Structure 1
Amino acid sequence: MEFALDQALKSYSGGLGFLAGSHMKSVYALRQNLIGIGMLWKYGYYDQGRRRDNSMEPQFHEKIYHFLTDTGINFQIPILGKQVWVRAYYLAPEVFSTAPMFFLTTDVDGNDEQTRAVSYSLYDSDVTMKVAQCMVLGIGGAKLLDELKYQPDIYHFNEAHAISAAFYLYQKYKKLPELKKRMVFTTHTPEEAGNEKHDINFLENLGFFSGLKMDVVRKITGIKDNIFNHSLAALRLSKKANGVSKLHGEVSRQMWKSYPGICEITHITNAQNNTYWVDETLEKARIKKDSKAISARKKELKSILFKTVADQCGKIFDPNVLTIVWARRFAAYKRPDILTWDVARFEKLLKNKDLPIQIIWAGKPYPKDEGAINTFNHLFYLSHYFDNMAVLTGYELALSKLLKDGSDVWLNTPVVTREASGTSGMTAAMNASINLSTYDGWICEFAKDGENSFIVPVAEGDDINKTDCDNFFDLIENKVLPTYYKNQKEWDRITLNSMNDVNEPFNSDRMAREYYEKLY
């Protein structure tokens, strides 16, 4: 549903898109035989603006891309009882150094306003529209390949969004074993409740099953009641599936093991594209083990980031002061505001003149998630009380890069087991920012506390939120700040270890190879 390929192409919301974008860039670098199919969102995800009182406002502006080529391919698929026109646009590999990419849209002549709107906004809040979007991606994606007369060996479904394609393909191949040997599936969701479910009759009425009779749909998916679980169907129709970190693979196998007929679930740990994300000067210094050069470059990069802070917030930050950044999708389980839960301790931390600190927040909530938007606004209003606290809008690829480059510490605060992988800390570590994190997702495969990162112990007891909050403050006050200001040699050692340890295992070239070897 989303690919973050370049700042200029607004076809993503967050981490899932960053990941897919890195994958497509590594495909290009490794010259793998693979193409990507996504959606051309007329309004992107949304533009993160502010109202007159500076509260966050989702804005929807039309996006026009002259670097996409109209393939001239137009075809129809049945959705909502209508024949809906779909057009395909092509992104050539040389534009952004990616795999060949196709993007589908319903915003074409011949469609009425309702069906044109299917490809307007990524993750539409209306359930019917969201399913229609998945049908354009799934059925439309499979039909596009037929229109191109291109026959892939493998269809890789990244999340279950495109599972409707399986029923289109079943009509083509007629037999379940023929379908299964061509389908693989990546799950990103570590909670059973987070996997999309709909009433099977609702889906049939939309045209989700491409005209397959309901007894056939039930037979091949093993779904006996009226609840169609998209991920479960994908696990039963694929030859193999994967979670996106070692821990997530284990969680997924545990989560689905009671369901009969599912395929094997392995794991391929998420990664990010070094070539795109890494600052060249920092990388040269890493290779030479030149900590002085790393430290000098970090101050330059901080100064560049702080121009954005001054522009958006009217605050002058100091490149010599330890800077912590929390930046990713705003969601409740990620606990963006955890440090503000202890008001007295937070105020004491930000007003400490002996060991000064600067903290920056950024990230996009889902535009209809009032709770997450309120958290974002609360942090912004709180920032008025502190010259050394900033909350930035417009968290997309370009700002993300500035924040990774300009942070000393990357703060990662999810409730343990809730983060399937998380990837923002990878690109921060590539750019000499040390991870300060709970022990979850990819961090479990990377982190060595005190060696390449600062890790809070896994919280136990009745109030894990309070425990985690206290532990984060303890680490910042007693370890992070004293090391940064009083033991430069130790800080340099941890930074260099972090850069070296993230470099190869969490480069998406490794991930792209593993998809070929372990999944395809």
Structure 2
Amino acid sequence: MASEYNRWYHPYEVNDKYKKRVAYFSMEFGIDQALKIYSGGLGFLAGSHMRSAYELRQNMVGIGMLWKYGYYDQERNEDLTMRPHFQEKNYSFLEDSGITVRVLVDQHPVLVKAMVLKPETFGTVPMYFLTTDIPENDHLARTITHHLYDPEPRARIAQSIVLGIGGAKVVEALGGSDIYHMNEGHALPLAFRLFEVYGKLSEIRKRLVFTTHTPEKAGNEEHDIHLLDDMSFFNGATLEEVRELTGMHGQMFSHTLAALRLAKVANGVSQLHGEVSRDMWYENEGVCEIKAITNAQNFNFWADMDLWHAQERDDHTSMIRRKQDLKRELFKEVANQAGKLFKPEVLTIVWARRFAAYKRADLLVRDMKRFMEFISNKEMPVQVIWAGKPYPFDYGAINVFNKLVNLSKQLDNVAVLTGYEIELSRKLKQGCDIWLNTPRRPREASGTSGMTASMNAAVNVSVQDGWLPEYARNGENSFVLPIVDTSMSDERQDEQDYNNLMNLLENEIVPTYYHNRDRWMRITKQSMRDVVPHFESNRMAHEYYEQLFNS
């Protein structure tokens, strides 16, 4: 292997605006369909960041994990319900960087090998993926990097140690970094590696920045501090030192709060999420400033250029023709998986993202009688597609997925697809007319899938959460639900959001699509024009340097 990947190296002349060295740590990266080391939105976001860092010639490297079994392969049982399947993955395009480092996990030495993804492979900055699945380790150590988001707490802690401490040591072997960026709190042990090297909280803060993605305290990871200590999470720092550094004096150790006290600056991932995060965490002493940098997605990777150029020419005919071609591509997948022949001229609604309770995949079918009337309208027909991966051990979310599968068996114009990974995501975004987003506000920190849908002439129909308040203008570039009172019970919020959604679909959206195509095209084009450049990841990658790394 070329020796340059044993040191900090980029195949381009670094842009002077971005010359500070940055190591970007993330538990998952959605780089390409061929590299299955991601679960969902966090990974898609990190992948777009790596692509834009490359396009802008930034002095950055990515540090991630090489998951032997990925997240999981979403397959079906005999009755078409969902079955998680774990299958070994191998990647010939990853090369041994020549770097192997040693970490302690549960007081035992574990070797961590760094495999390099070269920039020319997928158009990213150099990326180093860590694996413990090497012959020099014992069986238990080898399993640390087997499963993304392993359900066993001790395994998750071990994964954080490998990413944080192992990743920090890999960066040191490359020549060191000016800034260490934690994308979410999974890599927190790297702060304790910095403490070992530099010895002072002030020195950690010079180098560490943090992005938080979770807008509820209950969703932010915490563990018993003694368990973390026993597992070697603190990299040799005594509990007295850990408590002094982090201000954690109780039994439970909050990873997010510790990160906010150890970093020089942090950010939420939309303007609304920045406000929510400040409300959540500023009541605690010693936390750093929490800014807001809205997530974004990489245009060159996600946008269909024929569709985009037709929009630029204001060529309605070419736009409609290209959109129908893209719908046909999506409908081949529907036919393949569900045995149904969808029609390109019919309004197609897609709900596709991670299945989690707060995202409310089944909101559209809350009143089954009303849904059946809506889906059976012959004069203004509608097709609906659901797709998404539940966490493989979230049985409530899997039950929702299976409920929709069973419903789809009764209807020729409803389909539920498996395998929601990058390529299916692309087909769904390029092939839908409506991208439906139904989280309980304000629980969606950002959400980015609607951005890439807009790049491909899909209209967002959404709750005003995450990034949408910065983008959406109801009836002009999207359709947004009225904001409901979040102090109400979940049941009452769901009822109001459902009625607002159905009224919007029945009385405005569907009639506009079929009876006012000029207005529909104006909205579609405006949705494309408004999403770029503000929600394109080159803007985001620039702002990270401007607001976090160079601050």
Q: TM-score range by the shorter chain?
A: over 0.9
Query: SS at the partner of 1:181?
Result: helix
- Residue 46 of structure 1, aligned match among 65, 72, 80: 72
Q: Deviations over 1:435-483 (max 9, x none)?
A: 0000100001000000000111012355010111111111110011100
2:268 maps to 1:239: no
Once the two structures are superposed, the pairs formed by residues 276-291 of structure 1 within 5 Å of their partners are: 276-291=301-316
Partner residue, 2:254: 229
2:418 maps to 1:393: yes
- Residue 319 of structure 1, aligned match among 334, 344, 357: 344
Once the two structures are superposed, the pairs formed by residues 272-421 of structure 1 within 5 Å of their partners are: 272-421=297-446
- Residue 527 of structure 2, aligned match among 474, 478, 498: 498
Q: Return the alpha-carbon distance in structure 1 between the equivalents of residues 521 and 450 of structure 2.
A: 18
Partner residue, 1:512: 541
1:81: Cα distance to partner? 2.1
- Residue 127 of structure 1, aligned match among 153, 175, 194: 153
2:227 maps to 1:202: yes
Letter in 2 for 1:47: D
Letter in 2 for 1:510: R
- Residue 134 of structure 2, aligned match among 88, 108, 113: 108
Q: Deviations over 1:85-129 (max 9, x none)?
A: 111100000000001000000101122221111100100000000
Query: SS at the partner of 2:300?
Result: helix
Letter in 1 for 2:360: R
Contact residue 51 and residue 57 of structure 1 kept, 8 A? yes
Partner residue, 2:48: 22
1:317: Cα distance to partner? 0.2
Query: SS at the partner of 2:182?
Result: strand
Partner residue, 2:459: 434
Q: Return the alpha-carbon distance in structure 2 between the equivalents of residues 450 and 292 of structure 1.
A: 22
2:517 maps to 1:488: yes
1:381: Cα distance to partner? 0.7
Letter in 1 for 2:109: Q
Q: Return the alpha-carbon distance in structure 2 between the equivalents of residues 409 and 33 of structure 1.
A: 38
1:328: Cα distance to partner? 0.4
Contact residue 166 and residue 179 of structure 1 kept, 8 A? yes
Query: SS at the partner of 1:448?
Result: coil
- Residue 181 of structure 1, aligned match among 163, 181, 206: 206
Query: SS at the partner of 2:60?
Result: coil
Query: SS at the partner of 1:109?
Result: coil
Q: Return the alpha-carbon distance in structure 1 between the equivalents of residues 33 and 499 of structure 2.
A: 37
1:169: Cα distance to partner? 0.9
Q: Deviations over 1:129-160 (max 9, x none)?
A: 01100110000000111223x12110001101
What TM-score do the two structures reach when normalised by structure 1? 0.99
Contact residue 91 and residue 101 of structure 1 kept, 8 A? yes
Partner residue, 1:97: 123
Q: Return the alpha-carbon distance in structure 2 between the equivalents of residues 417 and 258 of structure 1.
A: 19
Once the two structures are aligned, what percentage of the paired residues are identical?
57
Q: Return the alpha-carbon distance in structure 1 between the equivalents of residues 79 and 408 of structure 2.
A: 14
Once the two structures are superposed, the pairs formed by residues 162-177 of structure 1 within 5 Å of their partners are: 162-177=187-202
2:33 maps to 1:7: yes
1:408: Cα distance to partner? 0.2
Contact residue 360 and residue 392 of structure 1 kept, 8 A? yes
Q: Return the alpha-carbon distance in structure 1 between the equivalents of residues 80 and 511 of structure 2.
A: 35
What TM-score do the two structures reach when normalised by structure 2? 0.93
Q: Return the alpha-carbon distance in structure 2 between the equivalents of residues 452 and 115 of structure 1.
A: 51
Letter in 2 for 1:276: F
Query: SS at the partner of 1:35?
Result: strand
Partner residue, 1:253: 278
Partner residue, 2:182: 157
Q: Deviations over 1:387-416 (max 9, x none)?
A: 000000000000000000000000000001
Q: Return the alpha-carbon distance in structure 2 between the equivalents of residues 175 and 133 of structure 1.
A: 25
In the TM superposition, structure 1's runs of 4+ consecutive aligned residues that sit over 6 Å from their partners are: none
1:75: Cα distance to partner? 2.1
Q: Return the alpha-carbon distance in structure 1 between the equivalents of residues 38 and 378 of structure 2.
A: 40
Contact residue 337 and residue 375 of structure 1 kept, 8 A? yes
- Residue 33 of structure 1, aligned match among 47, 59, 63: 59
1:72: Cα distance to partner? 2.5
1:292: Cα distance to partner? 2.3
1:55: Cα distance to partner? 1.3
Partner residue, 1:424: 449
Q: Which runs of 5+ in 1 are unaligned?
A: none
- Residue 287 of structure 2, aligned match among 239, 256, 262: 262
Letter in 2 for 1:477: E
Q: Return the alpha-carbon distance in structure 1 between the equivalents of residues 457 and 80 of structure 2.
A: 32
Letter in 1 for 2:356: A
Partner residue, 1:448: 473
Letter in 1 for 2:93: F
Q: Return the alpha-carbon distance in structure 2 between the equivalents of residues 321 and 284 of structure 1.
A: 24
Q: Return the alpha-carbon distance in structure 1 between the equivalents of residues 535 and 315 of structure 2.
A: 22
Contact residue 291 and residue 496 of structure 1 kept, 8 A? no
Letter in 2 for 1:472: L
Query: SS at the partner of 1:198?
Result: strand
1:53: Cα distance to partner? 1.8
Q: Which runs of 5+ in 2 are unaligned?
A: 1-26
